[in-house]
Amino acid sequence: MTNNHYNPFKENRTEQMRDLWKYYVPFPGLDSTGKPLVVEGCRGSGKTMFFQCNSWRQKLLEFQKNGRPITDLLDGEGFIGIYYRVDTTFVSSMREREEKNWGAIFETYLGICILKEILDLIYALNKSMKLSESKLSEFALSFSKKLNTESVTDSIEDFRKDCNVFLDIIEDKINGSETLQNLRCVNANRFITDVCIATKELLRRDELLFKVFIDEYETLQEYQQKIVNTFIKHSTLPVIFNIGLRPKGMKTSETISETETIEAPHDYELLLLGFEQDQYPEIIKSICRKRIALGKEQGKIPETAPDDIEFYLGNYSIELELEKLIQTSQNPPHIKKLQELITNRAKEEGCSEDDCKSYLKLLCDEAPILNSRMHYALLCKKTHFTPTLKELLEAYSSNSERYSDWLHNRKSGVIYLLCKEIKRDKMYFGFDVFLALSSNIVRYFLELCEQSFKIAFLNDYDWNSPISPETQTEAARYVSEYKIVDIAGYEPYGKELRIFVQYLGQIFYKLHTADGNTLGEPEPNHFNTKDLSLPEASRKIIASAIMWNVLQEGEPTKKKQSKLSPETVDYYLNKIYVPYFGISYRNQRKVFIPVEILR
């Protein structure tokens, strides 16, 4: 039986999903290579989904559900993925006090975490492949002795239990124990490589490659990042180390050697998820299609429901929004101002009374609301670009190329002026708009869809028609508001970032809707500064804003300062915040903020 209130977009965090592989849509460019990967993306961009869905656990689930033999995991994929997510609380405790050897303890801890994953893999494979008991015993005894020279453990199952004991010993050390008891510290790179080589031999797969995926790398301490950087620098077959991190999450590019650093493309391939993804719209459509299809498969969505998310959201129409604005106000405030302006300009230009009446009728009284508001913007300030009444009427009447350019460049900006003057909130609806609001972050798009369907279901939505623009707008504002509230919790500068975004958004809104705006610089929503001159305190907060995806970096566009001006980056306010402020999601104009003002 179908459930018309089933929301396929409710689960949007990898940690909350079962059977991740059912939701997974590969990002282009993430193909299997023998080179270390540094996958950079903000929360919700797909790093964890990518890592987990390429790890052996999710692959095994997929094969089992689809009736594929377990040997396909070894023979068909080209590599075994080992996933480790940094335990922030655990690793951040490995510091200070009297202990001087936290680096060795961290390496041992990491080696044991990877070992546990491989032991679980061997245990799972053995159920189907019936591996040699003597080889399994030899494997367990050999590596258990590397960690405890007195160990007599000779079974995989007992060794798995021993690993938990070893982690308990490390936890005791963190909590103040004087010794590591019988636990021997190991060099993680050597230990993990030896384990993987032995696993290849145990499974009788000479060409097997192991990819270690270390997620949330940015939460490691600097000395711990240096250790992992060393693994990346010296990755050699059959073990390749890969990391996932947020923007600005690499605290250091140094290794444990004072003379070495890691850098792309020599030591690793850098993959950026999100902001620059040209194929993002198609990825989103594929992700949504999978979710709707899964709902149908489970009998929770009607079979007749379309699979294309674009059907439900439609696309933004400026004509539709103008129609809503007209319904709100039959007599917009700018009309009276435009009438007075035309009358005064007609006198200045020496026009006859009949010409003045003609200008009033055609440019104001009978012109569509969008055109009349633009006419007011064009005429309200006198510059050498300002047309005369005659020039404006001729351009308008003939729809000349000049007039088409005016309308093309200004019509979206006019909407924000009209919304303010008519006292109606700006609308945000349509697939194209939701794409922009999500700032190329998959989770943000799913959250916008989740709220849209959730609100629609309250009004007995039945999957057979598009979701109304009003419902989508309400959903966009809801998501935007709670994203703004979330900022205060972003450590360590949440409070400062919350205030910064609040004022930045208000500045952009004021510029969008300034009285007498000629729309020569419409819809500002990003900024630049002399970032090379920023003081250290400002740098740290900006870096935190980028790591938390409050701001996104982009290449400078249309520089207006001198060629010697040290502008290296444009800073974009994340578009998910724009419905809260009622500003534009389009990257039209930026403002220059001096260093002192920014500080």
In-domain check, residue 131: yes
> What is the value of pTM for the model shown?
0.87
371, 247: one domain: no
145, 249: one domain: yes
Quote the DSSP letter at residue 130.
-
**Identity at 72, one-letter amino acid code:** D
Query: Residue range 394-404: average pLDDT?
Result: 94
pLDDT given for residue 35 in this prediction? 87
Q: Which domain holds residue 127?
A: 39-253
Residue 14 pLDDT class (50, 70, 90 cuts)? confident
Could you give the number of structural domains in the chain? 2
87, 230: one domain: yes
Residue 414: burial class (beta carbons within 10 Å; 0-12, 13-18, 19+):
buried
Other residues' Cβ atoms within 10 Å of the Cβ of residue 199:
20
222, 356: one domain: no
Weakest mean pLDDT among 45-49, 138-142, 156-160: 45-49
With a cut of 80, say whether residue 329 has pLDDT above it: no
Query: Residue range 70-82: average pLDDT?
Result: 83
Quick: pLDDT tens for 412-454.
999 999 999 999 999 999 999 999 999 989 999 999 999 999 9
With a cut of 60, say whether residue 201 has pLDDT above it: yes
In-domain check, residue 438: no
Query: Residue range 109-115: average pLDDT?
Result: 97
Task: Give the whole-number percent of the chain exceeding pLDDT 70.
Answer: 95
67, 193: one domain: yes
Question: Given 373, 405, 422, which residue is the final one in a domain?
Answer: 422
Query: Residue range 456-480: average pLDDT?
Result: 95
238, 356: one domain: no
407, 323: one domain: yes
In-domain check, residue 491: no
In-domain check, residue 352: yes
69, 199: one domain: yes
Copy the structure tokens of residue 546: 């980028």
With a cut of 90, say whether residue 393 has pLDDT above it: yes
Weakest mean pLDDT among 186-200, 261-275, 487-501: 261-275
In-domain check, residue 494: no
Pairing between β-strand 37-40 and β-strand 269-272 as defined by DSSP bridges: parallel
203, 83: one domain: yes
Quick check: 374 and 334 in contact, CB under 8 A? no
77, 180: one domain: yes
In-domain check, residue 501: no
Provide the edge-to-edge strand list for the sheet that holds 210-215.
Answer: 80-85, 210-215, 239-245, 37-40, 269-272
216, 357: one domain: no
DSSP character string of 29-65 = T----SS-EEEE--TTSSHHHHHHHTSHHHHHHHHHH
In-domain check, residue 119: yes
Quick: pLDDT tens for 495-537.
999 999 999 999 999 999 887 777 777 888 999 998 888 899 9
With a cut of 80, say whether residue 128 has pLDDT above it: yes
Query: Residue range 131-151: average pLDDT?
Result: 94
What integer best gives the mean pLDDT of the chain? 90
210, 91: one domain: yes
Question: Given 395, 422, 449, which residue is the final one in a domain?
Answer: 422
Residue for token digits 């804003």? Answer: 545
Within a 13 Å sphere around the CA of 535, how many CA atoms are in the beta-carbon half? 8
Query: Residue range 39-51: average pLDDT?
Result: 88
Question: Given 422, 456, 483, which residue is the final one in a domain?
Answer: 422
Q: How far apart are CA 4 and CA 522, in angstroms?
A: 42
Query: Residue range 552-570: average pLDDT?
Result: 65
Query: Residue range 550-556: average pLDDT?
Result: 86
With a cut of 50, say whether residue 1 has pLDDT above it: no
pLDDT given for residue 274 in this prediction? 64
Q: How far apart are CA 398 and CA 116, in angstroms?
A: 75
In-domain check, residue 226: yes
